[in-house]
Structure 1
Amino acid sequence: MGMDLELEGRRVLVTAGTKGIGAAIVKLFRELGADVMTTARSRPDQEPEDRFVTADLSTAEGCEALVHAVRDRFQGLDILIHALGGSTAPSGGFSALDEEVWRSELDLNLLSAVRLDRALVPLMADQGAGVVIHITSIQNRLPLPESTTAYAAAKAALSTYSKSLSKEVAPKGIRVIRVSPGWTETESAVALADRIAEQAGTDYEGGKQIIMDSLGGIPIGRPSKPVEVANLVAFLASPKAASITGAEYLIDGGTVPVS
């Protein structure tokens, strides 16, 4: 990025930072001089051991392990970015979603953030400053009934929770912001487009078009790139955005029609 975002030396935690949007955020923040810790269920070889925690954040135990690591290694926290999210729910509409599926979607997409915030936001309050960014999704506005009902509902709950949290902690010097990506060309998105293309007897670009059509079209004609989402997150986390809190920023190529 061209401008100095004043992120050098900032203590940053990014969840799910080894793939997709999370990996792009980790890479950019490190390039900007931030001290970044990240986490996932397994550690890639290139991740430094003292800045990586192996944890399953869909469980209370995994969140607790990560919190202990942050306290031990950082003794505080300046920026918390919740990039974790996803879905393993089956297709087939609401009737295909049993109790276990609902619990899994909520644990991953909502409760992981709630648990980490509950433990780490007080550290920010003690120092009188901090930034929390929740990565939500345009699915909370444009759910796909066949396949994303539980995921969309969990992300909608995360958005509402985030707004409420922002009102509570703003007087303590903590900003809470939502970033809502549309379809983004991550590794999993590429794999999905490839699968759809194979089923439809077309190529990767054809598979991408099928997905974009299912979303009602993307006016810019392509999915977002992970680095584009990371750029937005970096600006919002920086002192350049010091008066921004409680807001939700869509980055979806115009997919969601807003007035």
Structure 2
Amino acid sequence: MEQVFNFDNELSGKIALVTGGTKGAGKAIAERLLNAGATVIVTARNAPAQIHEKLHFIAADLSQSAGTQKVISEVFQNFGRLDILINNLGGSGTPGGGFAVLSDEDWESTIHTNLLAPIRLDRGFLPQMIERRNGVIIHIASIQARLPLYDATLPYAAAKAGLVNYSKNLSNEVASKGVRVLTVSPGWIQTDGSAGMMQEIAARTGITVEEAIQQVMNSLGGIPFGRPAQPEEVAELAGFLVSPRASYLTGTEFIIDGGTIPTI
């Protein structure tokens, strides 16, 4: 039987949560799902200065167990269920310099944000997805799970590697129960934050912003596509993966890096 999809409104009636959904790739993903007809909830520690009027915002620190429980409780209280969970929150605030400069607190805070936060949210939302035999979970990881930068982001890379492994194992457990679990691993994304970083590097080292961008690409071993990804490009992949068009996809990691990873 041939399936017919409405690409313009294919997520109509779906309720989605995007963590870290107020800036960068998270913001682009939230708006992509909204444009496809979903009701979209976003989280961040603080409310942004501007946010799309149709997005529902929950303020929460997901690096803490209490923050994840707050989100779970408010979603169920206000919406009754969740159909799509995009675990996008992540980042690294640890100092560079390799293993010797990293404290227990550096490791713990990074693992709580990048690994334990999605695990806690999955644990909170999965039971009702399984009960309804319907749901999609996307874990936004990173190519650093495969291509770590030990001098700059050692805990972040380790946490994302754990997230990729956990995501695969979770998919094996819940695929037969009607829930799809997938991983999206971006390379370098050109966000406002990364643009500010390039300006800082340029000012500190006396080079141009363009030279700073090339310097970072060189540190990754080069990006064959010649530039970082745009947030909207990552969002388009996520939008497809949560749609009915991807109904047979689960347990897979999708790398979107412009060809950065040098292996097959």
The secondary structure found in structure 2 opposite 1:139 is helix
Mapped to 2, the partners of 1:224 and 1:241 lie a distance apart of 22
Amino acid at match of 2:154: T
Is residue 9–residue 35 contact of structure 2 (8 Å, CA) maintained in 1?
Answer: no
CA apart distance, 1:99: 0.5
Mapped to 2, the partners of 1:149 and 1:60 lie a distance apart of 23
Is residue 15–residue 83 contact of structure 1 (8 Å, CA) maintained in 2?
Answer: yes
Within the candidate set 216, 219, 225, 1:220 is matched to: 225
Within the candidate set 184, 189, 194, 1:184 is matched to: 189
Q: Identity of counterpart residues, as a percentage?
A: 50
CA apart distance, 1:31: 1.4
Mapped to 2, the partners of 1:161 and 1:235 lie a distance apart of 22
Mapped to 1, the partners of 2:25 and 2:192 lie a distance apart of 10
The secondary structure found in structure 2 opposite 1:37 is strand
**TM-score using structure 1 length:** 0.96
Does 2:94 align with 1:89? yes
Amino acid at match of 2:257: D
Offset from partner CA, 1:190-234 (integer Å, 9 cap, x none): 111111111221221111111001100000100000000000000
**TM-score using structure 2 length:** 0.95
Within the candidate set 16, 28, 45, 2:32 is matched to: 28
Task: Report the aligned-residue RMSD.
Answer: 1.5
Mapped to 2, the partners of 1:216 and 1:45 lie a distance apart of 36
Amino acid at match of 1:247: T
Does 2:235 align with 1:230? yes
Is residue 5–residue 238 contact of structure 1 (8 Å, CA) maintained in 2?
Answer: no
Within the candidate set 159, 166, 170, 1:165 is matched to: 170
The secondary structure found in structure 2 opposite 1:156 is helix
State the match for 1:63 in structure 2: 68
Runs (4+) off by over 6 Å: none
Mapped to 1, the partners of 2:108 and 2:9 lie a distance apart of 38
Is residue 29–residue 36 contact of structure 1 (8 Å, CA) maintained in 2?
Answer: yes
Amino acid at match of 1:23: K
Does 2:10 align with 1:6? yes
Is residue 78–residue 124 contact of structure 1 (8 Å, CA) maintained in 2?
Answer: yes
Contiguous gaps of at least 5 residues in structure 2? 1-5
Mapped to 2, the partners of 1:107 and 1:63 lie a distance apart of 11
State the match for 1:145 in structure 2: 150
Does 2:76 align with 1:79? no
